[in-house]
Amino acid sequence: MQLGRTIRNMECWTALLAGVAACGQTSANGAPVGDDAGPGVTQDASGGAVDASNDGWPASPGADASLDASFGADASRDARFGDDAAQDAAPDAALATFVHASGTQIVDGTGKPLILRGLGLGDWFEPEGYMWNFSGSRGDRPRRINDRITELIGATAAAAFWQSWYDNFITEADVARMAELGFNSVRLAMHYGLLLPDGQTSFNEQGFQYLTNLVGWCSHHGIWVILDLHCAPGGQTGYNIDDSVNDTPDLFTTPANQDRLVMLWTEIARRFAGNPTVAGYDLLNEPLQPAFTQYDAQLWPLYQRVGKSIRTVDPNHMLIVEGASWANDWTTLGAPFDGNIAYSFHKYWNDPSQASLQAYINYRTMWQAPIWLGESGENSDDWYKQVFPECESDDIGWSFWTWKKLDGARSGPVAGPQNNPYGIPTPAGWSAIQAYVQDATQKPTAAAAQATFDQLLENIKLANCTYYSGPVCSVLGKTSCL
């Protein structure tokens, strides 16, 4: 199904992804600490001009839902949500009531222990440079990718490009295929600009419609949804992965950004409060990379503030929190402030053994709360065969990064064949686009660029993508994954 909704001049979304660090390492007091950024993180910050003066995405359209000035207050609000598409009846009893934390386990709506076997939906609302096979800082995050496309084909054509991208990158066909392969959940990487664009005091109803439709498709196919704020107002990480303007975590330097974060999560929760297909809210992706430890003390109080506001409209959904330093420094977290909370770590390019998980397991025991591997991937099939079964043997669910990206795209040090389920065929003329993204003097004609982008928009449709069974079999522990 295509949404067929016009998203003209929409302020877009975000940045890459993720990363994580050396999960096997610990700080002096035993907390896991990550030294390596996750996939898509631009390692050479000086590798190209930084468009600090450009806000990035085209101006967003007006929206109908005004921000309530009392957001974040204790007074309860109406718990309605979304539209009818998001409220479709779930296909079975496990989806009929809410996923939640129960002691050290995540359980389904019937109270049965639940291992989440999920897929990250990256690149849909937060286009990431490495997933497009771009090099250098000129195309490392959503706002800069949008800038380059606009420079090549103009603002009107760029807006049409993004509309088609959002309509076609993930459709119900993708969700049906995920369910067919045996996955039971998705983690949707969201950009704040999709829902609450900069400079606006109203929510973008068109953006919310994408969330609503995804949740409806997932309900129909028996898949849970974790809503992940991958890019928060101002940027929560201080790197290209959060679509920050200047590689600083301005969520933590500007109080107004925190106010907007609370407003946004409260509105998301208000709309989906009654929907059991949504398994939880992943409040911030990979906050505060290691260069910004001076802000670490703000993280836990901010989570508490966001959680308190969510609970004024939504008593049902599980809250998910990540530590600083690529999600993995749990000394920046505390004991549960809510009875329905889970802790998430990320894992890339490090020891795949059980020993690398033990520090997180120790926290699970101490805090008597569930833990979840919210992101892992960008590695070899052999590594997957160790990490994901080991997690399951320790009662840890997981989400694999990522479902779909350009053929040959990869992040990190591990070479080899395609390392995710679906590859997008590279369109003719893509090398010219890559050259321009890296070097502004290598500009193709507008007509040539348009033809290449038109082909890319066809290639992103699932029917035109290339399926790779190796990663799927490896993470699911199967011998056949057709």
**Secondary structure letter of residue 62 according to DSSP:** P
Neighbours of 94 (CB within 10 A): 19
Digit-coded pLDDT (tens) for 90-147 = 346 676 799 999 999 999 999 999 999 999 999 999 999 999 999 999 999 999 999 9
Q: What is the C-alpha to C-alpha distance for residues 327 and 310, in angstroms, rounded to an integer?
A: 21
Q: What is the C-alpha to C-alpha distance for residues 125 and 162, in angstroms, rounded to an integer?
A: 10
Task: Look at residue 46 and tell me whether its pLDDT is greater than 70.
Answer: no
| Domains of the chain by residue range | 65-476
Q: Could you tell me whether strands 397-401 and 278-282 are parallel, antiparallel, or unpaired per DSSP bridges?
A: unpaired
Write down the residue that tokens 């795209």 correspond to: 409
What is the dotted CATH code of the domain comprising 65-476? 3.20.20.80
Specify the length of the chain in residues: 482
By C-alpha distance, which of 357, 391, 399 is closest to 374? 399
Digit-coded pLDDT (tens) for 341-363 = 999 999 999 999 999 999 999 99
SS3 of the chain: helix, strand, coil, percent, to 5? 35, 15, 50
Backbone angles phi and psi of 111, in degrees to 5: 90, 5
Q: Whole-model pTM?
A: 0.85
Task: Name residues whose C-beta falls within 8 Å of residue 359's C-beta, 6 or more positions apart in sequence.
Answer: 26, 30, 31, 32, 330
Give the residue ranges of DSSP H helices in 130-254. 142-153, 155-168, 172-181, 192-195, 205-221
Give the pLDDT confidence score for residue 39 in this predicted structure.
Answer: 81
Read off the amino acid at residue 166: Y
In the sheet that holds 466-467, the strands lie side by side as 404-406, 422-424, 466-467
Task: Name residues whose C-beta falls within 8 Å of residue 410's C-beta, 6 or more positions apart in sequence.
Answer: 39, 130, 378, 419
